[in-house]
């Protein structure tokens, strides 16, 4: 994807026509526009870093900016600089307040060109008071003036915190939301691109959420997600870009404060639009879509600390059966039945079903975030999205969020994922090929599932070999990050506590050698954590007396298991 701005020939035409005329007809297909790009990459966009699951992320989608184009081909800025010797920034800024709209367009177009990658020009433009002048042109009666004013602003604020703040202080957000109502796709691309750029500044996120969410949802998210009309996504290329910019904006906002997360969850139509777009894209085989990636990242971030931040009345409904059955913790007896017995599993299952009937009926808004149906959506993403690792990482991170903690509902959704959605196989498929970033959310999810699983023996036979494979066994092995190692050992520990099969499989798949290596490695604070986790697991494994002979055959003694 490239980012389009006024063609060079447009600026040259201004000069050759003595700035007296503008041929609008030849201009319609070359307005300012944009897509995501990493900072410093002018021509092509890259995949943005996905947002972390159990921490409010510092990663943002990179900012889109406008780009110079000539007949659809990228041109390096400066190649034609000699053609603009008679224009400078001060005169371009003066043109913005001229009575002739043609001069206003020329001034804005020159600013857009000059500020594409020149940080000193951005600073100079701000000192010349270009920001308030451009904001006043956002809602000019002349469409070309609007397009160029917003295109120039998009470049002025790209990677420039001072200009972003200046735009906001000049009442720019209000004027942008007015402009968004115009029935002009090129203009809407610019406006949503500007919003996306602004949202990368942490200090502006809460204000942006307050001033934009409801209108953006009504004007862009609901209609373009297919939620508001036929139920089918019908986007032309420009609308697809508008929606992509808007979901990028939401993705950045959703990594902000608890207050902003709450506002997003409560915004009428926002969560529904994200769910509908993801669901519809899955149905038509478009799970790799970049807007799907953004939408799933939004859902993941809105699931962060969900049970602590959801309305008390909703939480009370989800926790309602805790007094009777659902609150039993791992290893606790249910009546006279052990947790592994058939009677106990039926007892749990009946309690789950009662609650399902209370929440499954046609979820609306934030109810989607904890509804059982969302587990199926995330599962389908894990299975069908082959190329976009950011999407699958976000889906596993969202699942990790809604299965985390001691709340009863985290256990209900964990058991639903394991028993009805059969989610372990798709998750383990991802583990085999995952990079370190993906392993964090995948192993975090498996850790949660292992806490809440009813049948630890069955889970052990599926996961132990895959997880042991990821652990380092010698100094030369390529080790995953320390938090991934701690997650893996925590999974094994959760299983070993209740399943002799888990302990047996750890021995069979050469896990002892790796665990003792991790236990002895204490050369950093991170390794100290994984060492303590390994020591705890080995101590629990020693409790299985039937395995002592196997331990001794491999050369390990009681002291090796029980020493700290």
pLDDT digits over 512-530, tens only? 999 999 999 988 888 999 9
Examine the domain organization and report whether 552 and 434 are in the same domain. no
Residues 6+ apart with CB under 8 A from 282: 377, 380, 381, 384
For residue 170, how many C-alpha atoms fall within 13 Å in the half-sphere facing its CB? 21
Could you report how far apart the first and last alpha carbons of the chain are, in Å?
Answer: 55
Asked if residue 188 belongs to a domain, the reply is: no
CB neighbour class for 137 (10 Å; exposed up to 12, middle 13-18, buried from 19): buried
- State the DSSP string of 59-125: --PPPP----EETTEE--TTTTGGGGTT--HHHHHHHTT-SSHHHHHHHHHHHHHHTSS-HHHHHHH
Helix (H, G, I), strand (E, B) or coil at 454: coil
Are 302 and 254 in contact, with CB atoms under 8 Å apart? yes
Are 381 and 38 in contact, with CB atoms under 8 Å apart? no
Examine the domain organization and report whether 418 and 430 are in the same domain. yes
Examine the domain organization and report whether 435 and 496 are in the same domain. no
Instruction: Quick: pLDDT tens for 173-209.
Output: 999 999 999 999 999 999 999 999 999 999 999 999 9
Examine the domain organization and report whether 398 and 502 are in the same domain. no
Examine the domain organization and report whether 465 and 504 are in the same domain. yes
Going by pLDDT thresholds of 50, 70 and 90, the confidence category of residue 216 is: very high
Instruction: Quick: pLDDT tens for 301-324.
Output: 999 999 999 999 999 988 875 544
Asked if residue 158 belongs to a domain, the reply is: no
Per cent of the chain over pLDDT 90 is 72
Asked if residue 41 belongs to a domain, the reply is: no
Total residues found in the chain within this entry: 564
pLDDT of amino acid 7: 39
Going by pLDDT thresholds of 50, 70 and 90, the confidence category of residue 563 is: confident
Among residues 27, 1, 33, 29, which one has the least CA distance to residue 14? Answer: 27
DSSP classification of residue 350: H
Per cent of the chain over pLDDT 70 is 78
CB neighbour class for 509 (10 Å; exposed up to 12, middle 13-18, buried from 19): middle
Q: 25-28 long-range contacts, Cβ below 8 Å, gap at least 24?
A: 27/144, 28/186
Query: Does the pLDDT value for residue 476 go beyond 90?
Result: no
Going by pLDDT thresholds of 50, 70 and 90, the confidence category of residue 19 is: very low
Examine the domain organization and report whether 309 and 447 are in the same domain. yes
Examine the domain organization and report whether 462 and 316 are in the same domain. no
pLDDT of amino acid 92: 96
Residue 422's region, left for phi above 0, alpha for psi from -120 to 50, else beta, is left
Asked if residue 175 belongs to a domain, the reply is: no
Asked if residue 93 belongs to a domain, the reply is: no
Query: Does the pLDDT value for residue 61 go beyond 70?
Result: no
Instruction: Quick: pLDDT tens for 138-175.
Output: 999 999 999 999 999 999 999 999 999 999 999 999 99
Q: At what angle do helices 8-16 and 101-114 cross, to 10 degrees?
A: 140
Are 224 and 239 in contact, with CB atoms under 8 Å apart? yes
Report the C-alpha gap between 19 and 13 in whole angstroms: 8
CB neighbour class for 69 (10 Å; exposed up to 12, middle 13-18, buried from 19): buried
Are 288 and 388 in contact, with CB atoms under 8 Å apart? yes
Report the C-alpha gap between 511 and 517 in whole angstroms: 10
Are 276 and 229 in contact, with CB atoms under 8 Å apart? no
Between residues 28 and 133, the one the model is more confident about: 133
CATH (domain of 277): 1.25.10.10
- State the DSSP string of 106-158: HHHHHHHHHTSS-HHHHHHHHHTTHHHHHHHHTT-SSHHHHHHHHHHHHHHHT
pLDDT of amino acid 331: 39
Query: What range does the domain containing 462 cover?
Result: 455-563
Instruction: Quick: pLDDT tens for 229-257.
Output: 777 888 999 999 999 999 999 999 999 99
Among residues 291, 262, 299, which one has the least CA distance to residue 396? Answer: 299
Which of 393, 424, 452 is the C-terminal boundary of a domain?
452
Examine the domain organization and report whether 441 and 398 are in the same domain. yes
Asked if residue 214 belongs to a domain, the reply is: no
Mean pLDDT of all residues in 115-122: 92
Among residues 160, 156, 159, 162, which one has the least CA distance to residue 41? Answer: 159
Examine the domain organization and report whether 288 and 367 are in the same domain. yes
Examine the domain organization and report whether 425 and 496 are in the same domain. no
Query: Does the pLDDT value for residue 56 go beyond 90?
Result: no
Are 484 and 470 in contact, with CB atoms under 8 Å apart? yes
Which of 400, 422, 452 is the C-terminal boundary of a domain?
452
Predicted model pTM: 0.83
Average predicted confidence (pLDDT) for the chain: 83
Are 530 and 518 in contact, with CB atoms under 8 Å apart? yes
Question: What six digits make up the tokens of 259?
Answer: 């207050």
Which of 406, 423, 452 is the C-terminal boundary of a domain?
452
Instruction: Quick: pLDDT tens for 80-116.
Output: 344 455 789 999 999 999 999 999 999 999 999 999 9
Asked if residue 12 belongs to a domain, the reply is: no
Examine the domain organization and report whether 345 and 463 are in the same domain. no
Among 325-334, 356-365, 450-459, top mean pLDDT goes to 450-459
Asked if residue 269 belongs to a domain, the reply is: yes
Instruction: Quick: pLDDT tens for 268-310.
Output: 999 999 999 999 999 999 999 999 999 999 999 999 999 999 9
Q: How many domains, in total, are found in the chain?
A: 2
Report the C-alpha gap between 161 and 424 in whole angstroms: 44
Examine the domain organization and report whether 499 and 408 are in the same domain. no
């Amino acid at each position: 994807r490239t980012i389009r701005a006024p063609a060079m020939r447009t600026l040259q035409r201004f000069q050759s026509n003595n700035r007296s005329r503008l041929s609008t007809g030849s201009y319609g297909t070359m307005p300012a526009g944009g897509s995501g790009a990493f900072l410093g990459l002018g021509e092509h966009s890259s995949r943005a870093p996905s947002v972390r699951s159990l921490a409010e992320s510092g990663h943002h989608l990179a900012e889109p900016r406008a780009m110079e184009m000539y007949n659809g081909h990228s041109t390096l800025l400066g190649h034609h600089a000699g053609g603009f010797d008679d224009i400078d920034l001060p005169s371009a800024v003066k043109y913005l307040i001229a009575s002739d709209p043609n001069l206003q367009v020329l001034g804005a177009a020159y600013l857009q060109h000059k500020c594409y990658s020149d940080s000193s020009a951005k600073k100079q433009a701000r000192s010349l008071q270009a920001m308030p002048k451009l904001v006043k042109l956002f809602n000019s009666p002349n469409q070309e003036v609007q397009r160029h004013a917003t295109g120039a602003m998009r470049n002025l604020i790209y990677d420039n915190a001072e200009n972003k703040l200046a735009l906001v202080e000049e009442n720019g957000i209000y004027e942008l939301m007015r402009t968004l109502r115009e029935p002009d796709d090129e203009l809407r691309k610019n406006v949503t691109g500007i919003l996306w750029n602004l949202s990368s500044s942490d200090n502006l996120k809460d204000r942006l959420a307050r001033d934009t969410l409801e209108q953006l949802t009504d004007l862009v998210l609901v209609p373009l997600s297919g939620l508001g009309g036929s139920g089918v996504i019908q986007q032309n290329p420009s609308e697809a870009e508008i929606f992509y910019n808007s979901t990028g904006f939401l993705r950045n906002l959703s990594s902000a404060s608890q207050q902003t997360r709450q506002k997003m969850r409560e915004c009428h139509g926002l969560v529904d639009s994200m769910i509908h777009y993801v669901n519809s894209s899955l149905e038509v085989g478009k799970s790799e879509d970049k807007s799907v990636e953004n939408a799933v990242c939004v859902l993941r971030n809105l699931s962060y600390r969900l049970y602590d931040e959801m309305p008390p009345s909703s939480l009370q409904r989800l926790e309602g059966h805790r007094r009777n059955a659902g609150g039993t913790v791992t290893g606790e007896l249910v009546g006279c039945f052990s947790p592994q017995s058939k009677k106990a599993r039926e007892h749990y299952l009946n309690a789950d079903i009662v609650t399902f009937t209370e929440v499954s009926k046609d979820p609306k808004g934030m109810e989607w975030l904890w509804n059982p149906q969302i587990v199926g959506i995330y599962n389908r993403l894990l299975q069908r999205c082959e190329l976009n690792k950011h999407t699958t990482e976000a889906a596993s991170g969202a699942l990790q969020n809604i299965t985390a903690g001691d709340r009863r509902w985290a256990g209900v959704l964990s058991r639903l994922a394991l028993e009805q959605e059969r989610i372990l196989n798709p998750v383990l498929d991802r583990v085999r090929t995952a990079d370190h970033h993906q392993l964090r959310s995948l192993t975090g999810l498996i850790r949660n599932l292992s806490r809440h699983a009813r049948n630890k023996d069955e889970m052990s036979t599926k996961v132990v070999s895959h997880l042991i494979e990821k652990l380092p066994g010698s100094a030369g092995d390529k080790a995953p990050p320390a938090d991934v190692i701690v997650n893996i050992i925590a999974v094994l520990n959760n299983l070993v506590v209740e399943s002799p099969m888990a302990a047996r499989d750890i021995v069979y798949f050469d896990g002892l050698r790796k665990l003792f290596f991790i236990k002895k490695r204490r050369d950093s604070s991170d390794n100290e954590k994984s060492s303590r986790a390994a020591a705890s697991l080995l101590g629990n494994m020693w409790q299985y007396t039937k395995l002592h002979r196997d331990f001794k055959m491999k050369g390990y003694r009681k002291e090796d298991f029980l020493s700290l």
